[in-house]
Amino acid sequence: MSRATPELLEREATRLLNSIEGAELTRKQRLEIPQQTIPAQDPVERRSNMSEVTLGYTEAQARLEAARCLQCKNAVCVEGCPVGVDIPSFIQAIEDGRYAEAIAIIHRTNILPAICGRVCPQENQCQATCTVGKVHKDPLKAVSIGRLERFVADYERSTQGSGVPEVKPETGKRVAVIGSGPASITVAADLRREGHAVTILEAFHRPGGVMVYGIPEFRLPKAIVEDEIHTLERMGVEIRTNFLVGRTRRLHDLFDKDGYDAVFIGSGAGLPKFLGIEGENLVGVFSANEFLTRSNLMKAYDREHAETPIFQPRKVAVFGGGNVAMDAARTAVRLEAEEVNVIYRRTRTEMPARAEEVDNAEEEGVRFHFLRSPKRILGNEDERVVGVECLAYELGEPDDSGRRRPVPIPGSETVIEVDTALVSIGNDSHPLITQTTPELETNKWGNILTDENGKTSMDRVYAGGDIVLGAATVILAMGEGRKAAASIHELLTSDSDDSA
C-alpha cells in the first residue's frame, strides 16, 4: 500500500487552498472539498519504532479540512462532546488562520486538546453527529474534528508553548485530588482556575495516569502528556508522587491530619481482569496492563537503558477487542514478535476499539481471529505457555449492551501456537480506597457510587473517571471531572459564604 507523504499532501492541499482563498464558499463548494488524509508513518517502518504513528495535519491541510465545516447553527457536534467544546468556533478560527484564538476557544472547556485530539473516539462523539458525514451518508466523511483539535494544539506547542490559563485570586480553600489521569487533571485545572489550592496525589513515580502507563508512545507521545502536566504546575497545582491514598494516608486523614476542604477520587481502573480459565497463571501470560506498564512507564522497550525487563514475545495471542488490546498487540509488534494474533469473541463490527486503531494494527501485520475465545492456555513442563486452545463462536440474540451475544459452538476447539498471552478484557475497580474507607458506598463491582454531580456517599468527597464508570475513555473521564469540579467549587463557595 503506497502512502502519500506529508510533503505531497501539503502540496496538494496548498494548491486547493490557493484556489479557494478569499472566496466566499457556498455550502456545495464546502461539501466538495476532499476530506484530508492524515499523514502517517509507513506501516513497515513503524513496526520497529515507538514513534508516533500519525503525524498530524500540515497547515494547509488543516485550513482545508476546517473549510469543510458547514458552521451549522444547531452545532450537533457540540452535543456529542462530553466536555462541550465550542467546535464550530474553533474550526472557523482555524479556517481563518487564527490559531491562537482557536486554541483559546478549546482551552475554555478542555485543558488537554493535544491529548484529546489524539485519543478521543471522535467517531462515536462529535463526529458521529456531524452534518457533513450525514450529507455524504458516511460518518467517516465527517469533518475531522479531532485531527483539527490536535493540529491547533500542536501548532501552539511548537510556536509559543502552551499558555497558562488564568488563575483567580486565592480562596484559601484546599482540595486533594487522588490520581493524576484525565479526570483528576480536569478537576485540578478547573478548581485551580477558581483560585483554590489543589494538590494531586499520585501513586506512581510519574504523573499522568493511564496516559503514561497505559497508552503507548506511538499513539500518545509522553512529551505531550508532560507538557500538559507542566501547564497544571505552572498554574500552581502541587503534585505529590509516590503517594497512595488508602495506604500512605487513609482518606479520612486527608481531612483529619492534612486539613483538606474537599477530596476528589480519580484513582482510575484497578485490578486487571483475568478470564478464569485453565493455564492463566502460566509463565508468559500477562495482563495487558502489566505488559503496557513495563513498556510505557518503565520504558522496557528501550532494552539498552531500562532496568525493567519485559518478556520477549515470539508468537503472541491477545485476548480482547478494545483499545487496550490494540495497544498491547501493537506494542508486541514493536518488541519484534514474529506473529501477533488478536482473539475476539464477536466480530469486527462489535469491537470496542476505535476503527482507526484496528486498521493501524492490521496494517502493522496484526492478525485478527473473530468469533473465537480462549478456552484454556496450554503449558509445558516448565509451566511456560506453548499454545492457546480456542473455541469458535457464533452470534446469537442481542444482549443487554445491544450487541449480539456470542454463543460457543461445541466441539469447535482449535489450538494456536503461542508463547505469550496478553489478557485485555478490562479491569475490576480498584479496592484500596474503598477497603480502607467503609462509609464510601460502591456498587457490586466495587465502583464508587456518585450522584449526578459526582458526589459520593461521603461528605466532601467526590469521584469520577474509571473508578466510577468502570473502563471508559479519556474524554468521558474528563467530562466526569468537569461535573465534579463544578460541584466542589459550589461547595467551597458556600463554605466561604457561610463563614462570611
Partner 1 sequence: MPARMVAVNRILEREQLAPHVFRIRVEAPLIAEERRPGQFVILQIDSEFGERIPLTIADADPEEGSITLIFQAVGKSTQQLAALNVGGKIANLLGPLGRPTEIKSFGRVIAVGGGIGVAPMFPIVQALKREGNRITTIIGARTRELVILESEMRSVSEELIVCTDDGSYGRKAVVTEPLAELCRSERLPDLVVAIGPAIMMKFCVETVRHHDIPVMVSLNTIMVDGTGMCGGCRVTVDGETKFVCVDGPEFDGRLVDFNNMLKRLEAYRDQEERRLHECRIEEVRE
Q: What is the contact surface with partner 1 in residues (CB under 8 A)?
A: 203-206, 213, 233-234, 236, 238-244, 247-249, 269-272, 274, 276, 280-284, 286-287, 289-290, 293-294, 298-299, 302, 305-309, 311-312, 382-384, 430-432
Please state, in angstroms and rounded to a whole number, the distance separating the CA atoms of residues 97 and 64.
11
For partner 1, give the closer residue by CB, 169 or 410. Answer: 169
Give min distance, CB of 449 to partner 1, in A.
20
Place of cell 467503609: 438
Query: Would you say 36 and 9 are in contact if contact means Cβ atoms under 8 Å apart?
Result: yes
Give min distance, CB of 308 to partner 1, in A.
5
For partner 1, give the closer residue by CB, 36 or 289. Answer: 289
- The conformation of residue 169, written as its DSSP 8-state character, comes to P
Q: Which three cell numbers stand for residue 79?
A: 452535543
Mapped onto helix, strand or coil, the DSSP state of residue 405 is: strand
Give min distance, CB of 366 to partner 1, in A.
23
Q: In what helix (H) or strand (E) does residue 317 lie, and over which residues does it extend?
A: strand 315-319
Place of cell 469543510: 68
Please state, in angstroms and rounded to a whole number, the distance separating the CA atoms of residues 364 and 342.
13
Query: Taking the CA of residue 362 as centre, how many other CA atoms within 13 Å lie in the half-sphere pointing to its CB?
Result: 12
For partner 1, give the closer residue by CB, 130 or 200. Answer: 200
Give min distance, CB of 340 to partner 1, in A.
20
Q: Which three cell numbers stand for residue 12?
A: 496538494
Give min distance, CB of 307 to partner 1, in A.
4
For partner 1, give the closer residue by CB, 155 or 311. Answer: 311
Give min distance, CB of 343 to partner 1, in A.
19
Give min distance, CB of 9 to partner 1, in A.
36
Q: In what helix (H) or strand (E) does residue 377 lie, and over which residues does it extend?
A: strand 372-379
Instruction: List the one residue out of 212, 268, 270, 206 whose CA is nearest residue 242.
Output: 206
Please state, in angstroms and rounded to a whole number, the distance separating the CA atoms of residues 204 and 223.
17
For partner 1, give the closer residue by CB, 131 or 267. Answer: 267
Q: Which three cell numbers stand for residue 193?
A: 482556575
- Pairing, β 385-398 against β 174-178: unpaired
Identity at 141, one-letter amino acid code = K
For partner 1, give the closer residue by CB, 242 or 414. Answer: 242
For partner 1, give the closer residue by CB, 160 or 248. Answer: 248
Mapped onto helix, strand or coil, the DSSP state of residue 334 is: helix
Q: Which three cell numbers stand for residue 128?
A: 458521529
For partner 1, give the closer residue by CB, 311 or 370. Answer: 311
Give min distance, CB of 102 to partner 1, in A.
28
